[in-house]
Structure 1
Amino acid sequence: MLKTVKQALFSTDIQTPKWTAIETPSSDYEARQYEATKWVSTEVTSVKDWDSAISTGFMRLFGYIQGNNEKKEKVEMTAPVTTYIEPGAGPACESTITVSFYIPPEHQENPPKPTESNVFVTERPQMTVYVRTFGGFTNGAKNQEQILQLSECLRRDGKQFDENNIYTAGYDSPFKLLNRHNEVWLIAK
């Protein structure tokens, strides 16, 4: 557990999913093609409290990597921690926020099955995303601001993307104070 906590706190030697860079016409964003991969996920519903939903989801998934799975096997911490946000039907409706950890390569073929009913393994297909990177500490409002900026840049450049579903990606522990790395992703059409 100490090694996993150290990884979570200091973001050292953390594995990430493989992707290939795609040339873009702008330095405002980048395009990446991610390989198909498996992730361990949990869903949290929230009307406006994005930060609390992320914390709840993170702790569920942290339990899974600490051995709360059928094999009682510890799984290495990875990055990024992603959230996939499916907006509700209206302004006061609940959004579904899926928090996910990338499953490291040594477990991709046969990941340990979660024992909690609200934790599940999913396979993301190969996908191309437009990415905007930013630093500092993030929250729901800052993520929305970055998504709006990314979408404006993509429209300016004539790029087609899914406007309804967004990802956020965090690479750092909440205890890391400097040189933080955050991203927002929009899925290319």
Structure 2
Amino acid sequence: MLKAVGQALFSTGLQNPKFTPGEGKGQDYEVRTYHTTKWVSTTLSGLQLDTALNTGFRRLFNYIQGNNQDKVKVEMTAPVTCMVDPGAGPACETTFTVSFYLPEEHQANPPLPSGSDVFMENRKEFTVYVRTYGGFSNEQMKREELLKLVESLQRDGAAFKDKPYYTAGYDSPFKLTNRRNEVWLFKKEEE
């Protein structure tokens, strides 16, 4: 328990999903192709990204602490991602899918969730444009960084999908310096 809390608090040396750096990196973003991997996820609906992230994080943290069918503790990983799928109108609910990457030792045979609000997600290989930024991120910063990424991609003539998009956080709330946050937009495949 202490090790897991320590890892969650200081988030250094955590396993990350593997990716291949892509061609055509802009000066203020990079291109990554993430390999096919399994994630443990939970989905929430609402209007507030930060609220959904907090609730989702708690559900998934319970899962990795052994609240799963095998009663197995799972190592903390990074990043914590949140796929944001905005509703159709300005006051429509957004769907948020908060996810933890499953460590290598659980990729082949992950412990199944015991509750209906947590599920296994098999992410097929995908390519995203990534903008990295520091500091303590909040909903407004995420939105601003996403807009900066959109402007950069438009400037470079890159084909991307504007939704859904991902936010990714690599650090615990207790890490005070050198924080790492990201926003991801899917690359649009040529048709």
Is the shorter-chain TM-score for this pair beyond 0.5, marking a shared fold? yes
Match of 1:121 in 2: 120
Shift of 1:45: 1.0
Cα distance in structure 1, aligned partners of 2:25 and 2:168 = 23
Shift of 1:44: 1.2
3-state SS of the aligned residue for 1:88?
coil
8 Å Cα contact 2:39/2:120 also seen in 1: yes
C-alpha offsets along residues 72-128 of structure 1, whole Å, 9 cap, x if unaligned?
Answer: 000000000000000011100110100000000100001000001000001001011
Structure 2 residues without counterparts, runs of 5 or longer? none
Shift of 1:59: 0.2
8 Å Cα contact 2:25/2:31 also seen in 1: no
Instruction: Give yes or no for the alignment of 1:169 onto 2:183.
Output: no
Match of 2:43 in 1: 43
TM-score calculated relative to the size of structure 1: 0.98
Identity %: 61
Match of 2:23 in 1: 23
Match of 2:10 in 1: 10
- Aligned CA RMSD, in angstroms, stands at 0.8
- The letter of the residue matching 1:163 is D
Match of 2:64 in 1: 65
TM-score calculated relative to the size of structure 2: 0.97
Cα distance in structure 2, aligned partners of 1:176 and 1:25 = 29
Count how many residue pairs are aligned between Structure 1 and Structure 2. Answer: 188
- The letter of the residue matching 2:57 is F
Cα distance in structure 1, aligned partners of 2:23 and 2:178 = 25
Shift of 1:53: 1.0
3-state SS of the aligned residue for 1:84?
strand
3-state SS of the aligned residue for 1:43?
strand
Match of 2:149 in 1: 150
Match of 1:182 in 2: 181
Match of 1:112 in 2: 111
Structure 1 residues without counterparts, runs of 5 or longer? none
Cα distance in structure 1, aligned partners of 2:114 and 2:95 = 22
8 Å Cα contact 1:25/1:157 also seen in 2: no
* Structure-2 change in CA distance of 1:22 and 1:89 (3 Å): same
Cα distance in structure 1, aligned partners of 2:23 and 2:120 = 31
8 Å Cα contact 2:165/2:185 also seen in 1: yes
Shift of 1:25: 4.8
Moved over 6 A (4+): none
Match of 1:84 in 2: 83
C-alpha offsets along residues 42-68 of structure 1, whole Å, 9 cap, x if unaligned?
Answer: 011111x21111000000000000000
